[in-house]
Amino acid sequence: MIDTDELTKRNAGFADGGSFADLKLMPSGSLAVIGCVDPRVDPSDVLGLKLGEAAVIRNVGGRVTPETLRTLEMLSKVVQARTGGPRPGDVHYAVLHHTDCGITDLAAFPELLAGYFEVPAGDLPAEAVTDPVAAVRVDVDVLKQKLPTGVFVSGLVYDVATGLIDVVVPPARVEA
């Protein structure tokens, strides 16, 4: 178990490195990633992101649920408060799913998944929880319906066996 002594030691090393200095709240890479909580798929590592480059939302499966959309709505308000205007268009929202995702084990618990997606249990097949490639397409489509026009949305699937991502849905602008 990693205890607080260990965390404090590692944090001291981080602070010494100085990479935190002068960062802005707005992601310098104009990137938002929606990914899974799985410890093997941290977007910072898998996608080589540096501190401050991307806003990252992680949940079970990296899914675009109603809660994810509420979080994005709150973030847009923060951006408006910080920039004094609407979010600039050149923002990239990347959905990052992965192979061997634990959400597939939850197919045995439809009541949990129905609550998660806020849909009737009978509608769960449309969420494609057992197929990351299908699921990432589903979530990109949801984002394209909900995000403002002009932003970019893409869908990626990371293979935990090879360490490589597959660009399932290349980045495309959300159309009016």
- Residue ranges binding Zn ion (CB under 5 A): 36, 38, 101
Closer residue to Zn ion (CB): 40 or 82:
40
Q: How far is the CB of 37 from Zn ion (least distance, A)?
A: 7
Closer residue to Zn ion (CB): 30 or 44:
44
Phi-psi bin for 22: left (phi > 0), alpha (psi -120 to 50), beta? left
Cβ(116)–Cβ(56) below 8 Å: no
158 Cβ contact partners less than 8 Å away, ≥ 6 residues apart = 41, 46, 96, 97, 98, 99, 164, 165, 166
Closer residue to Zn ion (CB): 36 or 156:
36
Closer residue to Zn ion (CB): 101 or 136:
101
Q: How far is the CB of 158 from Zn ion (least distance, A)?
A: 9
Q: How far is the CB of 61 from Zn ion (least distance, A)?
A: 5
Question: Distance between CA atoms of 63 and 41, rounded to whole angstroms?
Answer: 14
Three-state DSSP class for 95? strand
Question: Distance between CA atoms of 52 and 33, rounded to whole angstroms?
Answer: 12
